């Protein structure tokens, strides 16, 4: 396979708003390409596929943890934050990745699980052995496991308590996640300084952003629930001030699995900003709910909630990632409905969520995959794709925990799906060989060869989105319709008049979750008399009536992106 996209030199375009226009792609280094045949993906392998990612239209890569780790939690159990897992490569190879990505105008975002370490980390080993030593106070130790009783257990499948007794120190240590992941003690100024130094270490290496893993959980208090305590926000403000001062243009991304009013606090304010971006956890499960219930109501409700963010900040929206499809942000009633639709086999569940990939969740329905992506790319926020979802990769629910959807990328129909030349038994996880998603059928090479494949469709929609800065920078206003299965909104952008030549624009987006064709009347409010043109092919649609009403018909699971304007729009096909 060759992707001969032109390489832009020398490096990145200067754009302080890059993260709001960007299409992100989450790529697990271990899962993407194995360059040396040892069975594990690595940095050199990833570098070898940057041309593919550039061809796809990706602007930024998010790499889950690449540090030294016992890999008991997919690398989120870090044993040294300043070295790279040898299976993945070296610091020099990482620098090479940054350089080569930048040459392609692509950014690199790394993942930083700052809340905790692995119990194999030297800090923890010293802390347990020498309570009076320099690391004695690096973790949250207690003589009793009865502290912080308001703090819930997150990994309910495996942990009964947030406290585990350490036989060496003969005290309990606190952990929000697995019992092999002790929480760092953020009350200790030395710990806070270590964390800031580690941020600086990777920023000096040239990274463009850092995903702050599990960010709500830094501080614990007796009164609170340990999620977004004031001290946690204060510390993020300090980190942000350091980044703005010493590394302007780099971004901090909050992973806070919380309700909108709580997540929005991780953006801070104009005067005291915190993160540049935050993942939108409430929207994601509602997309899946709408697809099965044929009801757009919950999605409309959450999209209509006013959650203003500071200037220049933006949401990260996603369909799937390396974790389970979390159902923490839906009511118990909705959760049970979603388990019934999407996790009918108990093996598909994990903690409070569903450990499946996008295509199997949607039963490989091409119409639903297109609808879900069209919505993802039209929402307010920057879209994050999960590796392999662009080809509709399947999962393996027989693998433990979230490994079900972390299997090798499927490049070709050849041995190990072209991921590795290793003996198949040596792979870090087996390739998917199920009836429907077998790598013989689902792979990049065969989809490149079919112009109507999902891969080409996703690439096209990415390029159309990128031709319209409105999607990244504009406002979103939900419209009233007379059909419960239809979501309609207007994206509107005033234009910036910057060097990017952005002009003012309105785009009407309409999505039908109905399982049959529907006719819908939309109250477009102030769009009376406007002409509409399809963004994909440029064809003209019925003009909006003078009173603002618009009647459209939509096929099963279909959608429209319509340019609103007086003049003919020529379409955006890439």
Ligand X SMILES: OC[C@H]1O[C@H](O[C@H]2O[C@H](CO)[C@@H](O)[C@H](O)[C@H]2O)[C@H](O)[C@@H](O)[C@@H]1O
User: CB under 6 A: which stretch of 41-49, 245-253, 317-325, 496-504 binds ligand X?
Assistant: 317-325
**Between residue 355 and residue 414, which ones bind ligand X under the rule CB under 6 A?**
none
By a kind-dependent CB cut-off of 5 to 8 A, residue 38 interacts, out of Ca ion, ligand X, none, with Ca ion
Spot the catalytic one: 208, 213, 502, 505.
Answer: 213
By a kind-dependent CB cut-off of 5 to 8 A, residue 36 interacts, out of Ca ion, ligand X, none, with Ca ion
Total number of residues that touch ligand X (CB under 6 A): 15
Residue in the structure block whose two tokens are 């639903």: 368
DSSP class per residue in 328-380: TTS-HHHHHHHHHHH--SGGGB-SSEE---HHHHTTT-HHHHHHHHHHHHHSS
Q: Which of 326, 365, 460, 556 binds ligand X (CB under 6 A)?
A: 326
213 is an interface residue for ligand X by CB under 6 A:
yes
Spot the catalytic one: 26, 73, 255, 395.
Answer: 255
In whole angstroms, the minimum distance from the beta carbon of 405 to Ca ion comes to 21
φ and ψ at residue 495, rounded to 5 degrees: 85, 145
> What are the residues facing 508 on neighbouring strands?
490, 562
In angstroms, the CA 365 to CA 363 distance is 5
Active site residue 26: no
Q: Which of 39, 57, 74, 282 binds ligand X (CB under 6 A)?
A: 74
Q: Do 487 and 291 form a contact (C-beta atoms < 8 A)? A: no
Q: Do 385 and 23 form a contact (C-beta atoms < 8 A)? A: yes
In angstroms, the CA 279 to CA 256 distance is 7
In whole angstroms, the minimum distance from the beta carbon of 31 to Ca ion comes to 11
In angstroms, the CA 344 to CA 81 distance is 39
Closest to 298 (Cα-Cα) out of 260, 270, 268: 260
40 is an interface residue for Ca ion by CB under 5 A:
yes
Active site residue 255: yes
User: CB under 6 A: which stretch of 28-36, 164-172, 301-309, 316-324 binds ligand X?
Assistant: 316-324
Q: Within a 10 A sphere around the Cβ of 560, how many other Cβ atoms? A: 19
User: CB under 6 A: which stretch of 71-79, 131-139, 156-164, 524-532 binds ligand X?
Assistant: 71-79
Decide whether 40 or 171 has the Cβ nearer to Ca ion.
40
**Between residue 222 and residue 281, which ones bind ligand X under the rule CB under 6 A?**
255, 257
90 is an interface residue for Ca ion by CB under 5 A:
no
By a kind-dependent CB cut-off of 5 to 8 A, residue 182 interacts, out of ligand X, Ca ion, none, with none
Closest to 85 (Cα-Cα) out of 100, 101, 74: 74
In our burial notation (b when 16+ CB lie closer than 10 A, e otherwise), range 352-362 reads: bbbbbbbbbbb
In angstroms, the CA 155 to CA 151 distance is 12
By a kind-dependent CB cut-off of 5 to 8 A, residue 125 interacts, out of Ca ion, ligand X, none, with none
Decide whether 279 or 437 has the Cβ nearer to ligand X.
279
In whole angstroms, the minimum distance from the beta carbon of 323 to ligand X comes to 4
In angstroms, the CA 187 to CA 519 distance is 58
**Between residue 20 and residue 39, which ones bind Ca ion under the rule CB under 5 A?**
34, 36, 38
3-state SS, 231-282, equals: HHHHHHHHHHHHHHHHCCCCEEEECCCCCHHHHHHHHECCCCECCCEEECCC
Closest to 73 (Cα-Cα) out of 195, 159, 227, 177: 177
Decide whether 64 or 216 has the Cβ nearer to Ca ion.
64
Decide whether 40 or 407 has the Cβ nearer to Ca ion.
40
**Between residue 331 and residue 360, which ones bind ligand X under the rule CB under 6 A?**
351
In whole angstroms, the minimum distance from the beta carbon of 74 to ligand X comes to 6
CA dihedral 232, 234, 238, 239 (to 10 degrees): 20
In whole angstroms, the minimum distance from the beta carbon of 63 to ligand X comes to 13
62 Cβ neighbours under 8 A, 6+ residues apart: 24, 25, 26, 27, 109, 110, 111, 211, 253, 384
408 is an interface residue for Ca ion by CB under 5 A:
no
Q: Could you give the 3-state DSSP secondary structure of residue 519?
A: strand
Q: Do 91 and 85 form a contact (C-beta atoms < 8 A)? A: no
User: CB under 6 A: which stretch of 72-80, 236-244, 384-392, 439-447 binds ligand X?
Assistant: 72-80
The site string for ligand X over 156-185 (x = CB under 6 A, - otherwise) reads ---------------------x--------
73 is an interface residue for ligand X by CB under 6 A:
yes
Q: Which residues are catalytic?
A: 213, 255
Binding site for ligand X (CB under 6 A): 73-74, 76, 113, 154, 177, 213-214, 255, 257, 322-324, 326, 351
Interface contacts to Ca ion, rule CB under 5 A: 34, 36, 38, 40, 42
């Amino acid at each position: 396979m060759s992707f001969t996209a032109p390489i832009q030199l020398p490096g990145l375009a200067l754009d302080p708003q890059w993260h709001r226009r960007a299409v992100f792609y989450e790529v697990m280094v271990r899962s993407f390409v194995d360059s040396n045949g040892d069975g594990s993906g690595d940095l050199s392998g990833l570098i070898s596929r940057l041309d593919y990612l550039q061809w796809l239209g990706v602007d930024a890569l998010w790499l889950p943890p690449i540090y030294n780790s016992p890999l008991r939690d997919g690398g989120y159990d870090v044993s040294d934050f300043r070295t790279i897992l040898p299976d993945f490569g070296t610091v020099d190879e990482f620098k090479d990745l940054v350089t080569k990505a930048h040459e392609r105008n692509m950014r690199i975002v790394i993942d930083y699980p700052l809340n905790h370490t692995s119990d194999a980390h030297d800090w923890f080993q010293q802390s347990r052995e020498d309570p009076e030593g320099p690391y004695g106070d690096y973790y949250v130790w207690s003589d009793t496991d009865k502290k912080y009783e308001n703090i819930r257990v997150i990994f309910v499948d495996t942990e009964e308590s947030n406290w585990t007794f350490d036989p060496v120190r003969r005290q309990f240590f606190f952990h929000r996640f697995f019992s092999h992941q002790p929480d760092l003690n953020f009350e200790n100024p030395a710990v806070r300084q270590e964390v800031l130094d580690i941020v600086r270490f990777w920023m000096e290496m040239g990274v463009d952003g850092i995903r702050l893993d599990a960010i709500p959980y830094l501080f614990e208090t007796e009164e609170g629930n340990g999620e977004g305590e004031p001290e946690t926000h204060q510390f993020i403000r300090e980190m942000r001030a350091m980044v703005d001062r010493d590394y302007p243009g780099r971004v901090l991304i909050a992973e806070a699995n919380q309700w909108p009013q709580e997540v929005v606090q991780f953006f801070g304010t104009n005067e005291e900003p915190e993160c540049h971006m935050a993942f939108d956890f409430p929207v994601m499960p509602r997309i899946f709910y709408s697809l099965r219930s044929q009801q757009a109501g919950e999605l409309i409700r959450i999209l209509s909630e006013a959650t203003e963010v500071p200037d220049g900040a933006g949401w990260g929206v996603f369909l799937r990632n390396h974790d389970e499809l979390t159902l923490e942000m839906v009511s118990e009633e909705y959760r049970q409905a979603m388990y019934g639709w999407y996790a009918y086999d108990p093996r598909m569940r994990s903690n409070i969520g569903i450990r499946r990939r996008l295509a199997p969740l949607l039963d490989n329905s091409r119409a639903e995959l297109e609808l879900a992506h069209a919505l993802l790319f039209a929402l307010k926020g920057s879209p994050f794709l999960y590796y392999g979802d662009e080809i509709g990769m399947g999962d393996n629910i027989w693998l433990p925990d979230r490994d079900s959807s972390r299997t090798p990328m499927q490049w070709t129909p050849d041995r190990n799906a072209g991921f590795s030349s290793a003996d198949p038994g040596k792979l870090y996880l087996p390739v998917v060989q199920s009836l429907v998603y077998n790598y013989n059928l689902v792979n990049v090479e065969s989809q490149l060869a079919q112009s109507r494949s999902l891969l080409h469709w996703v690439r096209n929609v990415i390029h159309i989105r990128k031709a319209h800065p409105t999607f990244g920078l504009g406002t979103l206003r939900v419209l009233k319709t007379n059909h419960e299965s239809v979501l309609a909104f207007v994206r509107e952008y005033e234009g910036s008049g910057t060097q990017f030549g952005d002009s003012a624009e309105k785009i009407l987006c309409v999505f039908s979750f109905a399982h049959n064709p529907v006719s819908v009347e939309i109250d477009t409010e102030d769009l009376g008399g406007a002409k509409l043109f399809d963004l994909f092919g440029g064809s003209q649609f019925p003009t909006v009536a003078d009173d603002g009403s618009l009647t459209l018909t939509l096929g099963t699971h279909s959608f429209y992106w319509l340019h609103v304007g007086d003049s003919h729009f020529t379409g955006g096909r890439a």
